[in-house]
Amino acid sequence: MAFTAKRRLILLCAALAVVAPMAIAALPRTDAPFAMDLQSLPATPLSVMTYNVEGLPWPVRIGRSAALASISERLRDMRATGHQPHIVVLQEAFTADAKRIGYDSGYRYVVDGPGRDDKAEEKPTREDTAFSEGGSFLKGELSGRLLDSGLQILSDYPVLAVRRAPFPAFACAGFDCLANKGMLMVLLAVPGSPTPVAVVTVHLNSHYAAHVRYRRSYYAYTRQIDALDRFLAKNVAPGAPLIVAGDFNVGKAQDRRAYLLRHAASWWNGRDGARLGDAYHDCAARPIECGQYLDADAQYSFARARDWQFTLPGQNVGTQVQRIAVPFGHDGRSQMLSDHVGYIAYYQLTSRRNEQAIEDGHRQGVRAGRYQSVVHGA
């Protein structure tokens, strides 16, 4: 059935009005509303922030303009002191206010993810077709895409190449189907790196917010990860250092975690025995070097297990996390500018000759019980 613009708007209002904002647990804090010790942050050639900015349109969210403007202002203030993250990957940047964050905060490059009308090339299997035919009109699964992917990458460094792709039409469940979620990659010229660095962002299907049975949301989730496998294999050169960051919507679902990490480990296949890394776990393995990264907001984000930064060294260059900082967390009144924490991972580019020493330290940390391995994470 064809939908006119008016009927699409009616569907968006009717279907999404039932989606209540998620309650975020308030953490007691005694510090100032925004107090980061900027001078203590390490000087690194590469810092990456991942942030789901909750830039959802009316009627799903109301009154988000002020919070989104505050996000831009805070990034602009950090830039004024030279402490802005070099790269920012955004999710849920659907509205005009959300899409202006990069421009308003001074980023040289602002790259958009898949648009509303972009199509995936993959053909559905018989199981995929049966899954799609079981969709619910009232849950937004049969209306077509009303929004784009909501993905953006902001960069201070030159963007050498861009690749983007939506998930296949059958790889979505519930109200997530109203957005054309997908994958976005940029290839960056990073100072000090002899090879370009690939940065990918993604936003996977939600669980509770999709408002469908878990088995249905899980099927869509796995098919999206399958699509991410193919996207990385097709677009990332084997010798390029790689960071995959975004909202992976793992939460407490152990089957989601297991499926994601099993496939993430396969991304590194053939890359000279490189170990799967992620910023939170790698920093936990080196608490002295990383500093007091486990403040209340970092713990909160870590425990939610939605916002991840996976890393893979290239042929000659590695990426070692030095510190994690949270410029976008709870303020002194236990309020946040979004329903997600926005955190920065600071990376030092390393020679692959040092990778074995780093790997040995990682294994010693596991044996000593100082932290849990990424496969069995928090």
User: Residue 147's pLDDT band (boundaries 50, 70, 90)?
Assistant: very high
User: Residue 97's pLDDT band (boundaries 50, 70, 90)?
Assistant: very high
> Within 13 Å and on the Cβ side, how many CA atoms surround 351?
2
Strands 242-247 and 109-112, sheet pairing: unpaired
42-376 sits in which CATH class?
A: alpha beta
**In the chain, what are the domain boundaries?**
42-376
Alpha helices, DSSP H only, in the chain? 5-16, 65-80, 96-99, 101-104, 126-133, 214-235, 254-267, 279-284, 287-290, 296-304, 355-368
How large a percentage of the chain has pLDDT more than 90? 49
Residue found under tokens 């989601």: 256
Q: Is residue 346 scored above 50 in pLDDT?
A: yes
Q: Is 314 helix (H, G, I), strand (E, B) or coil?
A: coil
Q: What is the pLDDT of residues 34-59, one digit of tens each?
A: 455 555 556 678 999 999 999 988 77
pTM confidence score: 0.82
Integer Cα distance of 301 and 345 in angstroms: 13
Q: What is the pLDDT of residues 277-320, one digit of tens each?
A: 889 888 877 777 776 555 788 888 888 989 999 998 888 888 88
User: Residue 365's pLDDT band (boundaries 50, 70, 90)?
Assistant: very low
Report yes or no: 164 and 113 within 8 Å, Cβ to Cβ. Answer: yes
User: Residue 24's pLDDT band (boundaries 50, 70, 90)?
Assistant: very low
Q: What is the pLDDT of residues 228-283, one digit of tens each?
A: 999 999 999 877 899 999 999 999 999 999 999 999 888 865 555 567 788 988 88
DSSP tag of 40: G
Cα torsion 267, 130, 254, 264 to 10°: value is: 0
